[in-house]
Amino acid sequence: MPALVIPRTLQGPLLASASLYPVVTVTGPRQSGKTTLCKATFPDHAYVSLEPLDNREFATSDPRGFLAQYPRGVILDEAQRAPGLFTYLQESVDADPRPGRFIVSGSENLALTSNVSQSLAGRTAMLVLLPFSLEERMRFSGADVGLDAVLFQGGYPRPLVEGIPVDRWLQDYFTTYVQRDVRQLTQINDLSTFTRFVGLCAGRTGQEVNLSQLGSDAGVSHNTARAWLGVLEAAHLVFQLPAWHTNATKRIVKRPKLHLVDAGLACSLLGIRKPEHLRDHPLRGALFETFVASELLKWYLHRGLSADLHHYREVRGAEIDLVRPGVPRGIALEAKAGQTFQPEFVKHLTALDREAWAAYLVYGGATRHTRDGVRIVPWLGLATADWGSEA
């Protein structure tokens, strides 16, 4: 069986980057498929993980000798475990700048990007691999999977490809993340409170971030809530959509909107144990919006592009779930989980300037059409959407 079971959209940008830069850095959440992708894309490169203590000790105590083992190129996995190695990577690529020599991957975005930016600025491409997009998932599951199953299962490759019960796997995944990764972050000493904080974030997915309220509900300060949210972003478990406004100053003071990167993980954290439980769940609409937002995020990042996603809300109530400014036109998108189109779904989109914005509604139904200049896209249409055509 080939190493890359399901073709990943990022493979093309990864190969292209390796033809231009001596180092390519691939980051993303744990278990998103980074190692599988890198091994399959560069089968002639040696592979070494810096997770085992013996490899890490060699890379730390004799970095020049460690790197000299791999004259033809190497995939350095979990590279953030040996931060001192990055200085010697810089030395090596300055002496021999052949493109594609080093493929660096890791799961701790904060640690990895900090070391890369300090030592490899201008020498590496930065790419992000998230869990399966719907586009990638459809390459092996077909179109016979219902919306609630897709929301419930999420996109982490291993349970989907290997047939592991998703609910159990996601619970174990989060427990491992807390006990393994979070313990290494010294500012988090109370793991039970942090776990409760993450559950509260799941309950607020698709909502604007109120740090004071979030911190109060978790029993921590406003500043601690901000720091912990940064930890979740660094681990690629959540992302925030900043507010968009034509006035740049007003963008700064408005609250961002919070989304979990994976709707399946959100379901697990919310205690949803079967797809059927989503049918009447009060957060089904928010989970659907998170799913759509994550799909757009993946569409851009998996093509090596900047996502630049925002949300929009006026003081008097008009709001749009997703906004991506662009030239000649930007994208404005609403996400509604209902299977039957309702005119109120597009009431905030129909007033937009069509010269400046391409308006979309993604909904839980199955029919594609246009209403009052708004393109109505069924949720399965996300698997084939081309969000670059409006840029």
Per DSSP, the residues of 241-289 read E-B--SSHHHHHHSPPEEEES-HHHHHHHTT--SGGGGTT-TTHHHHHH
Kindly tell me the number of DSSP H helices and DSSP E strands found in the chain: 16, 14
Average pLDDT per consecutive 10 residues, the chain (391 residues; last block may be shorter): 70 97 94 95 96 94 95 92 89 93 81 64 90 92 81 95 93 86 70 92 96 95 92 91 76 81 97 94 97 98 96 83 92 97 93 92 96 95 87 46
Tell me the pTM: 0.93
The whole-number pLDDT of residue 313 equals 87
| DSSP 8-state assignment for residue 57 | H
Contact 157, 33 (CB under 8 A): yes
CA distance 304 to 130: 12
CA distance 77 to 26: 9
- List the one residue out of 362, 391, 367, 355 whose CA is nearest residue 379: 362
Which residue, chain included where needed, has tokens 């069509």?
Answer: 354
- Does residue 343 have a cis bond before it (omega within 30 degrees)? no
The whole-number pLDDT of residue 120 equals 78
The whole-number pLDDT of residue 254 equals 82
* 3-state class (DSSP) for residue 49: strand
The whole-number pLDDT of residue 245 equals 77
The whole-number pLDDT of residue 188 equals 77
User: DSSP string covering 327-383, please?
Assistant: SS-EEEEEEE--SS--GGGGTTTTTS-TTTEEEEEEESSS--EEETTEEEEEGGGGG
Strands 330-336 and 319-324: antiparallel
Q: What is the pLDDT of residues 4-48, one digit of tens each?
A: 468 999 999 999 999 999 999 999 999 999 999 999 999 999 999
- List the one residue out of 387, 233, 376, 375 whose CA is nearest residue 297: 387
Query: 48 vs 35, 74, 97, 157, CA distance in Å?
Result: 10, 7, 21, 22
The whole-number pLDDT of residue 234 equals 85
- Evaluated on CA atoms 84, 90, 95, 101, the torsion sign reads positive
CA distance 353 to 340: 26
The whole-number pLDDT of residue 6 equals 83
- List the one residue out of 380, 388, 340, 331 whose CA is nearest residue 321: 331
Which residue, chain included where needed, has tokens 């084939």?
Answer: 384
The whole-number pLDDT of residue 117 equals 62
The whole-number pLDDT of residue 314 equals 80
The whole-number pLDDT of residue 3 equals 43
Contact 115, 140 (CB under 8 A): no
The whole-number pLDDT of residue 350 equals 92
Half-sphere exposure of 45 (CA within 13 A, CB side): 27
- List the one residue out of 168, 167, 216 whose CA is nearest residue 193: 216
The whole-number pLDDT of residue 191 equals 85
